[in-house]
């Protein structure tokens, strides 16, 4: 029996004639998944760097900062499970570690980061509760302190994996437009760390630690510049698709927010002192959400 040929040698196959990826029904879910994922991982990187290399008062802020990072990652994990569409798919990805699978690496990295962070937070507050009440764990305080530091370091390492990961677990990189965005990881790293500094600055303001905010001024200014450069390079890859999926006005307004508000205004706000750094941090959080809505919008079906 003669088999019918589906394409002629030397010509494009049916798979090459159109984009075969199918956009899931994400709506706003994937945007908030990417946003919170970057926020918690960038925040934990900043927490770790401040703890390792910063003055002693950052150590006093450590448990509060890690508790907030844990709360953010717990919400992100819930969004991720719903994002995948099938909770069993998430648990199935945890059964076997495959370094060649983006989903496996992303899920394992995020789960390991959340687990180590949760252990560090739980052990710290358990020892804190014991020290200020019955003291039933007093003989083990040194051991608990060592375990807290160990899990904090492991959580820091896990956050680096999460912040550098560009894959299925928190982005739509299999979709038209975004899948060819070569600068997406660079943008995610710089923007995530900027948002992490923003959360830290707001936390310091809430805990009335202006001396800590002063140390965040220079890193915030540097990351504002880095984020603007990374977003520009990313937009070079996304602009052709964005012109098809969004109006020219929408594309202009997004870039106005990134460069004018999130760039110039936030940069010069840092020069006003601790209060200005907090304002710049809040701007970074708002602009970060706008950026991700724009990025995800380029995957819309044309």
187-217: pLDDT as tens digits: 989 999 999 999 999 999 999 988 899 999 9
Q: What is the pLDDT of residues 116-137, one digit of tens each?
A: 999 999 999 888 887 777 777 7
Question: Residue 223's closest CA among 192, 269, 255, 265?
Answer: 192
Q: How confident is the model at residue 11 (pLDDT cuts 50, 70, 90)?
A: low
Mean pLDDT of 19-41: 75
| CA 14 – CA 6 distance, rounded (Å) | 8
pTM for this predicted structure: 0.85
Within 8 A by CB and 6+ apart from 181, the residues are 173, 234, 237, 238, 295
Please answer whether residues 117 and 126 qualify as being in contact, where contact means their C-beta atoms are separated by less than 8 angstroms. no
| CA 216 – CA 47 distance, rounded (Å) | 11
Q: What is the pLDDT of residue 2?
A: 47
Mean pLDDT of 255-277: 95
Q: What is the pLDDT of residue 1?
A: 46
Q: What is the pLDDT of residues 87-116, one digit of tens each?
A: 666 666 666 666 666 667 777 888 889 999
Is residue 25's pLDDT more than 80? no
Alpha-carbon dihedral 156, 276, 266, 32, rounded to 10 degrees: 50
Query: Could you tell me where the DSSP H helices lie in the chain?
Result: 29-53, 57-84, 87-95, 102-132, 141-164, 184-206, 210-245, 248-256, 266-269, 274-297
| CA 225 – CA 270 distance, rounded (Å) | 12
| More confidently predicted of 2 and 293 | 293
Q: How confident is the model at residue 250 (pLDDT cuts 50, 70, 90)?
A: very high
Among 27-31, 77-81, 280-284, the range of highest mean pLDDT? 280-284
**CA atoms within a 13 Å half-sphere pointing along the CA-CB vector of 139:** 1
Q: What is the pLDDT of residue 86?
A: 60
Q: Percentage of residues in the chain with pLDDT exceeding 90?
A: 49
Q: What is the pLDDT of residues 40-83, one digit of tens each?
A: 999 999 999 999 988 888 888 999 999 999 999 999 888 877 76
Measure the N-to-C terminal CA separation of the chain; round to a whole number of Å. Answer: 41
Mean pLDDT of 14-21: 54
């Amino acid at each position: 029996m003669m088999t019918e040929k589906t394409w002629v040698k030397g010509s494009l196959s049916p798979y090459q004639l159109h984009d075969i990826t199918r956009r899931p029904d994400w709506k706003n879910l994937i945007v908030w998944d990417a946003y919170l994922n970057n926020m918690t991982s960038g925040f934990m990187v900043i927490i770790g760097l401040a703890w390792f290399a910063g003055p002693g008062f950052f150590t006093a802020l450590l448990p509060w900062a890690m508790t907030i990072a844990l709360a953010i990652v717990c919400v992100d994990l819930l969004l991720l499970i719903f994002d995948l569409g099938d909770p069993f798919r998430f648990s199935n990805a945890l059964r076997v570690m495959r370094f060649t699978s983006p989903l496996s690496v992303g899920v394992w990295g995020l789960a390991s980061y959340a687990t180590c962070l949760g252990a560090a937070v739980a052990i710290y507050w358990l020892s804190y509760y014991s020290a200020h009440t019955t003291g039933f764990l007093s003989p083990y305080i040194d051991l608990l302190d060592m375990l807290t530091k160990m899990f904090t370091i492991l959580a820091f390492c896990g956050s680096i994996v999460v912040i550098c990961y560009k894959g299925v677990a928190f982005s739509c990189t299999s979709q038209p437009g975004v899948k060819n965005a070569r600068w997406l990881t660079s943008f995610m790293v710089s923007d995530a760390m900027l948002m992490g500094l923003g959360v830290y600055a707001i936390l310091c303001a809430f805990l009335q630690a202006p001396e800590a905010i002063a140390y965040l001024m220079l890193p915030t200014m540097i990351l504002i510049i880095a984020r603007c450069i990374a977003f520009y390079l990313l937009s070079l890859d996304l602009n052709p698709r964005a012109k098809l999926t969004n109006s020219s006005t929408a594309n202009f307004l997004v870039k106005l927010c990134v460069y004018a508000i999130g760039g110039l205004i936030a940069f010069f706000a840092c020069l006003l002192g601790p209060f200005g750094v907090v304002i710049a941090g809040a701007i970074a959080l708002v602009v970060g959400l706008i950026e991700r809505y724009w990025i995800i919008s380029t995957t819309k079906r044309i």
